[in-house]
Amino acid sequence: GIVVNNTLVWNRGYGVNSVETVYQIGSVSKTFVSTAILQLYERGLIGLDDDINNYLPFNVRHPEYPDKPITVRMLLTHQSGMSDYIDQYDGFVYGDTLVDWLRSHVPWRLMEFDPFPSQGEFLEGYLTPEAAYYEAEAWASMEPGTGFWYSNVGYDLLAYLCGKVTNKTFTEYLQENVLDPLEMTSTGFRASDFPGRQAVPHERIYGLLSRTIVTLPVYEKRHVGAGGIKTNVQDMARFLTAHINGGKIDGFQILMPETVEMIHKEAIQGSADFMQVGYGMGFTRLSEEPWNSWGEEYDMRGAIGHGGGNWGTMANIWFVEEEEGGYGIILMTNTRSMAKLDEVWVLTVYYRIQAVLMQEAY
């Protein structure tokens, strides 16, 4: 999809998928978490530089820096010192459908839970030394507030915090305060949502003598904060339009313009990818300089947005802000090479498509 100012000017589906198809968007979900958290900030319900323990039913501190408070701002900008410990964390966040598939098809060690914890029980047990699900690798060797360490757990904790502050689940709050006002009627969280319209995920297993594409089951994730939202291009365009236009769409102000400017602004130098130069609050900033590889130029024009990926699916939203309005792109695919990285496919197909779309949007 391509958005210019207030309009989705182009939208197309390819293969068996149509413009109505709903995709997993992975870490693009973090842009929704930051939007929700900044709404609470505007309403005076939280302070960005407050200790998160003011809002949680349990205490969270870095074991190596127990006297250093972790703030809401640190979680938003990935400066909390939390890391992601795959074995523990992935065993919790993936639903049973995908966990069963992974155990059958991929040599991926996932923790089994008996009984299965609630989100709060897991987060407390995962982040607290000597607790039920703790491993030292849950924390990076970095003092909170001193550097960038991308953390899915941090954004799940933000979503949980949102629920505690509002006395709702995060999904309830997001539905009432973001999705419904933006008329995002094809956005949800569960595998049972939108039957027959969800993109079937696929994995590229790139081997020495073959390029095998494996079909995965349609699944959901338990951590909707870090990466569990499902949506389509039309809905994503509504969200993108609001952020391009100072938080406003069709007369509804999702965030005030000064707040939108603050969360888009680069807060820290750092990256989780080669074209990224900095991170705001749930939004990444890309380089203004074109990147060249394999004889191709990838020019993303210093765009703001986020990328995301889960097993068998990838998504990206990027936009450039002008003095009035702007332009942006939405790309969702139901293929990924997560089981075994196919770098050639990622560079020549996936990033190239983004660059072509961005040039057309410009």
CA distance 65 to 34: 25
Taken in order 156, 159, 164, 167, the sign of the CA dihedral is: negative
Nearest CA to 75 among 64, 60, 90?
60
Distances (CA, A) of 206 to 6, 12, 340: 40, 28, 6
Nearest CA to 37 among 71, 88, 86, 60?
71
* Lowest mean pLDDT across 54-63, 127-136, 285-294: 285-294
Distances (CA, A) of 331 to 116, 230, 270: 35, 13, 23
Q: Residue 25 has what DSSP assignment?
A: -
The contacts of residue 221 (CB under 8 Å, 6+ apart) are: 24, 93, 94, 95, 98, 227, 228, 310
What is the distance between the terminal CA atoms of the chain, rounded to a whole angstrom?
A: 13
pLDDT at residue number 210: 57
pLDDT tens digits along 67-82: 999 999 999 999 999 9
pLDDT at residue number 275: 73
Taken in order 89, 93, 98, 100, the sign of the CA dihedral is: positive
Q: Residue 246 has what DSSP assignment?
A: T
What is the average per-residue pLDDT within 110-135? 91
* Lowest mean pLDDT across 19-28, 106-115, 178-187, 281-290: 106-115
Q: How confident is the model at residue 94 (pLDDT cuts 50, 70, 90)?
A: confident
pLDDT at residue number 291: 78
CA distance 317 to 129: 37
Tokens of 34: 């930051």
Tokens of 303: 């765009």
The contacts of residue 189 (CB under 8 Å, 6+ apart) are: 171, 220, 224, 228, 229, 230
Tell me which amino acid residue 97 is: T
Is the whole model's pTM more than 0.85, yes or no? yes
The contacts of residue 240 (CB under 8 Å, 6+ apart) are: 3, 317, 319, 328, 330
Other Cβ atoms closer than 10 A to 151: 23
pLDDT tens digits along 289-345: 887 766 677 889 999 999 998 889 999 999 999 988 899 999 999 988 877 667 777
Tokens of 130: 């000597």
* Lowest mean pLDDT across 184-198, 210-224, 253-267: 210-224
Share of the chain above pLDDT 90, in %: 69
pLDDT at residue number 99: 84
- In the numeric block, the tokens 């207030």 are attached to 6
CA atoms within 13 A on the CB side of 70: 30
Taken in order 227, 232, 234, 235, the sign of the CA dihedral is: negative
CA distance 337 to 212: 10
